[in-house]
Structure 1
Amino acid sequence: MRSSTASQGPTLSVSSNLANRRYVAAGDRAYDLGSEDGRFPAMGFHTRGEMGGIWTPPIKLLDGIWFGINGQWIGSATSFTSGFGYVQMALPSTNGVQVTRTDFAPDGRRAVEFGLTLTSSSPMPFTLNVDAHSELMSAYPWGFTTPNQTQFNLPDTAAFNGKQLVFQENGTPPVANALPHSWAAVVGATGLTPASGKTGSAFRGPQDPPVICPASGPDLFRCDDTGFGKGAGGELTYNLKLHAKTSMTVWFTVAGSDQGLSAAQAEYQAASANPASELQAKVAARLTLDSQTQVSLPADPALAAAVSWSKQNLADLTQQADNVNIRPTEEGTVYPPPAGFLPSIRFEGAGFPDYPWMFATDQEYTMFALLAAGQFATAEAGLRSLAAVSDIANNRSGKVVHETVTDGSVYFGLNDEPGDIDETAKFPNAVAMVWRWTGDSSFRDQMYDFTKRNMEYMVNTLAESDDVWPDGSGNVEATGLGEDKLDVAVYTIRGLLDLADMAASKGDAATEQFALSHAATMESQFQGAWWMPSIPQFADSLKDPANSQLLQRWWIGVTPMEAELYQNGVEQSGLALKADALQALALRETSCYSGTYGMYVEGGPGCDPGTFQGHIQQAYTLNTGVMAVGLGNYGLLGPTDQQRYTDDLAQLQLGSVAEQPGAMPEIGPSPDFPANVTLPFNERSSLNQAWGTYGVLWPVVHQQLGVGPQLGHGLLEVLPSVPPGQSTVSGSAIRIGTGTIDVTAMHSGNTWTTTVTSRLACTLHAGATLPAGSTVQSVTLNGAPVAYQVRDTNSGRQVLVSTACGSTAQVKIVAS
């Protein structure tokens, strides 16, 4: 009970507009979502207002928890702080007691901990009141599906057992194919026995009497519960005493399980035994993650800070659910019996509060960030989980499912649905990239059959006889597009080349030839089919029957520049011809396509001769990240190019424009999307979305520091590109395989110096990426002249020497 809360590691704080800012404190088995003033407003839209509160996937436990002193509810927080693995709120003095609240979710526990640190200037006895209101509810169905939560959600019961509040929901929903369940939540304090406890229908602390949002129809800006709610409440009262000028921390645990009350009690006992120690372990684990991929960017400190917080975002969204029944729901229109069962899925969740489950798109884009951050286990686990669910839901067709909720319900991406087939095309690349960065051939082998079926599905099942492009929806889920989508075409070419690379490494000549042949055919026809020189942009889609080019200015127009291709053991940065790419990227930098916080999901008219008048000028962080990577692939790293977009992301993540400091949001304020803090709590985008970290970590580690492993072939390339106007960039403890590397890149005048210290066994290609057309005058390795290779790429002229990993190699290049 008497222990301090966390104070280690970096923090970010905010003190303005706290009542309208959401936050999350997350572990891999539980999380809590509230507002930064310490309250728990209803929030989210999948089941309106029910996506916040306290969760242990796949179920919600509580709407919220509230605290009072001597019968007076503690007021709204005056400041909010994000830390590594926890959040903290400074609360106002209440009846002479100073209060700080710390929330965190210990990893591996189905519980959230709330620590109240109490201080008084004089000794005083006091009562501590705790209200909790349950809402035991499954992550699926949602409010608008068939069935919906008004039909599926059962009433909760509440009891006081002398030490804890115990909430339960037991039974079988009156819905065809629903399974019986026994769900429970337990609330109590470590080392304390309450003087009293009571239960009833209320007990929402200062949020009683509640404002109720209707289940459908016109919404309210802020409410306390919803028409879906069937929870119960309770209150615990403790008699305590404070000593003068001495802090006391009282820890409250909210634990639960979808496996019955005894399982919930076991979770409670484990989590509540020593919360202070659990917090220190959590912070220590997060500091360990931060110690990987440490970067120094003297001329861009905001981006360096964003790298640090992006690693934390990835850890926050690492989620796990057990005992998963895979149920294909056909976009929420049916609720069939389970098609299969998995003991566990572990993955990188998409975003809080409405997307904390498994999306293929998010998993595949975020994989780049996970690799750059050294979080290899999460990358591998997510791809394994995605493949396992896809094979059950799609009967081993090779198609990747789009969206899987933590209870196993597959909302979209089945064989009979048109999209999102870009995710199937991207899967072999995700596997190949993990294999290249980790050298884990066993993972490649485990995923290999599925990646073969991915590309066979794309080529044999979806490509129509009229052309070589697979037909079906890509990432853009919009009407008016033609049958062939640009991102599908780009990622199919890339996926075929990645499959060929893995096939060659396994000696599977037939698959290698299949993949290379189809990739070559598509690549040879790509520019003619998709490039629109009069705009200049790539078409978003091609419309049958004549493959007419359509341009609606969707963000996918950047994918030909963003995709990296691996051919004959050499990375090719970008599919688009450089002359075309430079024109297309320059147009995307105009005000019709980009704004204060990034590139728009759909640009508007006025900056090109295109005739389409529609627009959705919303700066999604994924789109901005794709743009940042695309610019980097063509050597455009300066303040008006890549740095503009990476700094847009850093502003959103680190500043006070978005909601939680340190959290990468889904969308930045834009002409067609106001800031989240101005929107009703049930109508907002994600406060923390993993995919934006792609546009932070990948440009720094892979493009600026030039780290490009191909450990599946025993090769590591480090060919940095120091951004214009900067003199040095460096990174240390970058995980490669089972070892790490440190990289320092410097540029001064006509000299480029790269120093690599590597702690693994491989062949090292070290050097630098110079401006296109540079003339090399001399190259030395550790001070001695050395033979070198020159390789012209879309990103510039690469100059490299070959040596062995396992020591320090310094390459100095003088060029003009």
Structure 2
Amino acid sequence: MLVTAAAALVAAGLTVTPAPATAAHGSGAHNSGDELTVSDRLADRRTVTIGDRFYEVGAADGSYPATGWHVRGEMGGFWSQPIKLLDGLWFAVDGTWLKAKSFTSGYGYTRMDLGGGVQRTDVVPDGNRAGLVGLHFDGGARQVRLTVDAHSELLKAYPWSGTTPSQDTVNLPDTGSFDGRDLVFQEQPNHYAALVGAQLTPDGHQLGPDFRGPQDPAVICPNTDPAPARCDDGPAGKGTGGQLTYTLDVPKGGRTVWFAVAGSDQGKQPAQAALAAALRDPSGQFARKQAQRREVSDRTHVDLPGDPLLAQSVEWSKQNLADTVQESRDLHLFASDQGTQSPPLAGTLAQARWIGAGWPDYPWIFGTDGEYTAFAAVAAGDFEAIEDHLRTLRDVSDIVNAKSGKVVHEVTPDGQVYYGTNDDPGNTDETVKFPSAVALVWRWTGDDSFRDSMYDFSVRAMKYAVGLDADGDGWPEGSGNVERAGMGAEKLDVAVYTIRGLADVAQLAASKGDTATADWANAQAASREKKFEDTFWYGGDAHGYADSLSDPGNVKLYQRYWIGLTPMEADLPGGPLASVAHADDTLAQHERACYNGDFGLFHTGTGPTSDAKGNPGPSCDSVVSSAPSDRETFSLGSAVAAVAEGNYGRLAQQHAYTTDNARIQLDPDVWELPGAMPEIAPSPDFGSNLSHDFLSRSSVLQAWGTYGVLWPVVAQQLGVAPDLGRGQLAVVPQIPPGQQRVAGSGIRLGGGDIDVTATRSGATLTTQVRRTGVRGTLTLGAVLPAGASVRSVSLDGHQIAYQRVTTTRGTEVRVPAGTGGGQHTLTVRLG
């Protein structure tokens, strides 16, 4: 059954206000603007409902299978960072357990049609360690017996199943009780507590080891594979259960009952306060959550008549980013040396806010993930979220790494630093990407106070990285994004991002009047940029860059990794690093079948190899690599490819990659969770998430893939290029081939916003910009079609002198448009 927004929810306070229906997709799926509904394979689909202090992971049929691998089978259920609270929450009406007939993703909430006139809406208000579940019973007057089962699992985000110690030995048994209204679960002496209750007082209750609704008796996952196709609890589980029963009179107009789950790692009293706050005006909290998400939708609202799928992906990508903001408090920081040690604390951090990497197995703090996601965040106007993320990375890194400048890699919300300390190799790429993320935010916000708070750490980061150069050749050693054995010590992406990081630090330093640092960083960047092409271009029929250099002698290794596109993807202050000739050569090579599947770029392309696995795909070059192919398609890889194509004006080719990421988010034949960008797309060496059991899937929601949607549209097609820290703003759109119009409104810049509309009608290009509250000198422009000549250029109806500027995107026409607000129109007539 195709489900639209449920009008019946309105009377009960479960108000849902979708946009008009736009399209129906495939069997069992429906799109109604700000809602996406699916009704097939519900038991196989993971779902997430997220707030900044609480989240829930279950299945789309209303069940809670054992999920995830970091703590095997325990990454699902209900969580409040840094602890898990419950395995699940189940409902029965008149003795029959409810099972969803359809599932709907909405902006900030999820909904299930449970049949029999019952609908369930899950929402997590921000700012509280609690989540809400609303059950709406449609009218006719009736009386129902409602049963609620809850099963606890109080445990911390760390340790994991494979660490020393492991969760198998650290997790303690839970106890359950009833306080006259609510179920109360506790784990002592850790002061962990979880509560389940409603606005109503129950008729009765029971306590015991089970109470998992229709998932009793529970199937326990084994410690190692093979595992059953579906199990109900992880091997480390030591939770307990409880049941509440209610008698409900449902009037003719229907009735809604709200339930809440709340928790704390500080004892029962804070959990009780969180529960009480959640059940105080729950329908109002739901309405406020919807209003918040409408504000998210109103920012960076795009109109792409020639690419409606990409426009829809922009809308859902903004919601994905809003979902990923997390907060934890009272972090006790220590470095576990990849899960092998429990040393004394390095220090504490009172509060951390960040953009979570992925659900359910990576909802915590990462360096490189956030640095890629920063580009999507500023394009979406999520300035506060990315600023908080960078502050958290700085604070944790300075405490754990004693202010060395090294950026940590991975931090759980309790303060465990898995990797990226001074004593381990870490990932050099995230240290050199950090200053670029700071400079990016500064350019989009013009916030000098943020720049100033990050400046010292950014300089220390680059000086630390430049010092990681044992052979003195200018290329820092250490891991990059590809953490695979057999690579040389000096990685391509580290080299690329080092040059960009130095150039960005130079701009930050110059803006502060720190001439010495600016001169140092400029010289360091220039010396590396000058020799980059000769050092890393592999050439021949590889048509690409070496993935790494092996010492001694800087021997070039070509292994077909996705990082081969980073010289085109990384946009320095003066433009991308790769020469146009090399960029066109390697971008075209990566578009071939040896690098691409049905949904985008492979992690590692196919071709001749000395690896015992052999070559499973076509060969596009004759280089014999020591690395095996890996035909997994990560949403990040396709994002990097899309951005790389756009940096060189190849928007027809870019379209393939933006469509790939949009489809895995929005195509009912592909998605797992409607509207959510996953970590890995369906691909030959992975299959799909739906082809894996719940213990071995990739993330159902991964933040960094949105980089490949928001940035290509806002920064490349609409051409929005702010440099507000230096008082400048350029808007130079490029309309994709075959399209006549691209537009965006409410694009947040500094303390204001701009609207951009670019059109092509016959031989006329028009760029129209309206800005409100955005200071700085405006430059308007347009990227000319290849080979086009210019007959005339006018600004606001008056012919004007113009610049013709050759860039990697093509030939651009640019004109100054002053410093005032209001609206300006640039008209370019082609000869």
The residue number in structure 1 matching 2:213 is 205
Q: 2:17 aligns with which of 8, 33, 39?
A: 8
* Alpha-carbon displacement from aligned partner over 1:547-582 (angstroms, at most 9, x marks no partner): 111111110000000010114xxxx1x210001100
Q: 2:311 aligns with which of 298, 304, 308?
A: 304
Q: Which moves more between the two structures, 210-219 or 628-637?
A: 210-219
* Alpha-carbon displacement from aligned partner over 1:774-816 (angstroms, at most 9, x marks no partner): 4333111001011222221101112111122401110111234
The residue number in structure 1 matching 2:71 is 47
The residue number in structure 1 matching 2:133 is 114
The residue number in structure 2 matching 1:775 is 789
Tell whether the 8 Å contact from 1:487 to 1:556 is kept in structure 2 after alignment: yes
Q: 1:584 aligns with which of 586, 590, 594?
A: 586
Q: CA separation in 2, counterparts of 1:747 and 1:684?
A: 44
Query: Cα offset for 1:747?
Result: 1.6
Q: CA separation in 2, counterparts of 1:376 and 1:418?
A: 31
The residue number in structure 2 matching 1:660 is 673
The residue number in structure 2 matching 1:564 is 571
Q: CA separation in 2, counterparts of 1:610 and 1:286?
A: 50
User: Does 1:675 find its partner at 2:688?
Assistant: yes
Two-structure CA RMSD over aligned residues (Å): 1.2
Query: Cα offset for 1:466?
Result: 4.3
Q: CA separation in 2, counterparts of 1:609 and 1:27?
A: 50
The residue number in structure 2 matching 1:83 is 106
Q: 1:138 aligns with which of 149, 153, 156?
A: 156
* Alpha-carbon displacement from aligned partner over 1:259-296 (angstroms, at most 9, x marks no partner): 11001001111111111111000010000111000100
Query: Cα offset for 1:218?
Result: 2.9
Q: CA separation in 1, counterparts of 2:15 and 2:229?
A: 34
Residue type of the alignment partner of 1:285: Q
Q: CA separation in 2, counterparts of 1:238 and 1:368?
A: 49
* Alpha-carbon displacement from aligned partner over 1:451-507 (angstroms, at most 9, x marks no partner): 000110111x20223411001111111000001000000000000000000100011
The residue number in structure 2 matching 1:177 is none
* Alpha-carbon displacement from aligned partner over 1:692-726 (angstroms, at most 9, x marks no partner): 00000000000000000000110010000000000
Q: CA separation in 1, counterparts of 2:786 and 2:622?
A: 30
Query: Cα offset for 1:771?
Result: 3.6
User: Does 1:320 find its partner at 2:331?
Assistant: no
Tell whether the 8 Å contact from 2:35 to 2:104 is kept in structure 1 after alignment: yes
- Long gaps (5+) in structure 2: 1-8, 19-33, 608-618
Describe the SS at the equivalent of 1:683. Answer: coil
Query: Cα offset for 1:748?
Result: 2.8
The residue number in structure 2 matching 1:161 is 179
Structure 1 residues 486-497: aligned runs within 5 Å: 486-497=492-503
* Alpha-carbon displacement from aligned partner over 1:146-202 (angstroms, at most 9, x marks no partner): 11101111111100111000000111xxxxxxxxx2110110011x10011111101
Tell whether the 8 Å contact from 1:767 to 1:812 is kept in structure 2 after alignment: no
Structure 1 residues 591-610: aligned runs within 5 Å: 591-605=593-607, 606-610=619-623
Q: 1:71 aligns with which of 85, 95, 109?
A: 95
Q: CA separation in 2, counterparts of 1:412 and 1:752?
A: 51
Describe the SS at the equivalent of 1:692. Answer: helix
Q: 1:425 aligns with which of 411, 426, 432?
A: 432
Tell whether the 8 Å contact from 2:444 to 2:724 is kept in structure 1 after alignment: yes
Tell whether the 8 Å contact from 2:756 to 2:770 is kept in structure 1 after alignment: yes
The residue number in structure 2 matching 1:524 is 530
Tell whether the 8 Å contact from 1:162 to 1:196 is kept in structure 2 after alignment: no
Q: 2:655 aligns with which of 636, 643, 650?
A: 643
Query: Cα offset for 1:104?
Result: 1.0
Q: CA separation in 2, counterparts of 1:80 and 1:686?
A: 19
Structure 1 residues 3-42: aligned runs within 5 Å: 3-9=12-18, 10-42=34-66
Describe the SS at the equivalent of 1:12. Answer: strand
Tell whether the 8 Å contact from 1:625 to 1:692 is kept in structure 2 after alignment: yes
Describe the SS at the equivalent of 1:223. Answer: coil
Q: CA separation in 2, counterparts of 1:73 and 1:83?
A: 24
Tell whether the 8 Å contact from 2:13 to 2:284 is kept in structure 1 after alignment: no
When normalised by structure 2's length, the TM-score is 0.94
Query: Cα offset for 1:217?
Result: 4.5
Q: CA separation in 1, counterparts of 2:223 and 2:334?
A: 25
Q: CA separation in 2, counterparts of 1:314 and 1:77?
A: 27
Q: CA separation in 1, counterparts of 2:506 and 2:529?
A: 15
User: Does 1:689 find its partner at 2:689?
Assistant: no
Describe the SS at the equivalent of 1:226. Answer: coil
Q: 1:701 aligns with which of 714, 717, 734?
A: 714
Tell whether the 8 Å contact from 1:658 to 1:687 is kept in structure 2 after alignment: no
Q: CA separation in 1, counterparts of 2:176 and 2:137?
A: 28
Q: CA separation in 2, counterparts of 1:73 and 1:713?
A: 61
Q: 1:104 aligns with which of 123, 131, 139?
A: 123
Q: 1:254 aligns with which of 258, 261, 276?
A: 261
Tell whether the 8 Å contact from 2:740 to 2:761 is kept in structure 1 after alignment: yes
Q: Which moves more between the two structures, 223-232 or 786-795?
A: 786-795
Describe the SS at the equivalent of 1:417. Answer: coil
User: Does 1:235 find its partner at 2:248?
Assistant: no
The residue number in structure 2 matching 1:174 is none
Tell whether the 8 Å contact from 1:658 to 1:675 is kept in structure 2 after alignment: no
Give the share of equivalent positions with the same residue, in percent: 52
Query: Cα offset for 1:609?
Result: 1.9
Residue type of the alignment partner of 2:824: A
Describe the SS at the equivalent of 2:603. Answer: coil
Residue type of the alignment partner of 2:656: R
Residue type of the alignment partner of 2:761: S
Tell whether the 8 Å contact from 2:139 to 2:255 is kept in structure 1 after alignment: no
Q: CA separation in 2, counterparts of 1:543 and 1:418?
A: 17
* Alpha-carbon displacement from aligned partner over 1:577-600 (angstroms, at most 9, x marks no partner): 001100100111111101111111
* Alpha-carbon displacement from aligned partner over 1:656-704 (angstroms, at most 9, x marks no partner): 2121100000010001011111101000000000000000000000000
Tell whether the 8 Å contact from 1:4 to 1:117 is kept in structure 2 after alignment: no
User: Does 1:291 find its partner at 2:298?
Assistant: yes
Q: 1:186 aligns with which of 195, 211, 223?
A: 195
* Alpha-carbon displacement from aligned partner over 1:739-771 (angstroms, at most 9, x marks no partner): 110000012333211000011221100111124
* Alpha-carbon displacement from aligned partner over 1:529-559 (angstroms, at most 9, x marks no partner): 1001201110000001011111111100000
Tell whether the 8 Å contact from 1:82 to 1:88 is kept in structure 2 after alignment: yes
Q: CA separation in 1, counterparts of 2:804 and 2:191?
A: 65
Query: Cα offset for 1:209?
Result: 0.3
Query: Cα offset for 1:772?
Result: 5.1
The residue number in structure 2 matching 1:807 is 822
Query: Cα offset for 1:390?
Result: 0.6
Tell whether the 8 Å contact from 1:701 to 1:707 is kept in structure 2 after alignment: yes
* Alpha-carbon displacement from aligned partner over 1:7-51 (angstroms, at most 9, x marks no partner): 123100111111100000000110110000110000000010000
Tell whether the 8 Å contact from 2:604 to 2:630 is kept in structure 1 after alignment: yes
- Long gaps (5+) in structure 1: 172-180
Describe the SS at the equivalent of 2:573. Answer: strand
Q: CA separation in 1, counterparts of 2:621 and 2:800?
A: 49
Structure 1 residues 405-420: aligned runs within 5 Å: 405-420=412-427
When normalised by structure 1's length, the TM-score is 0.96
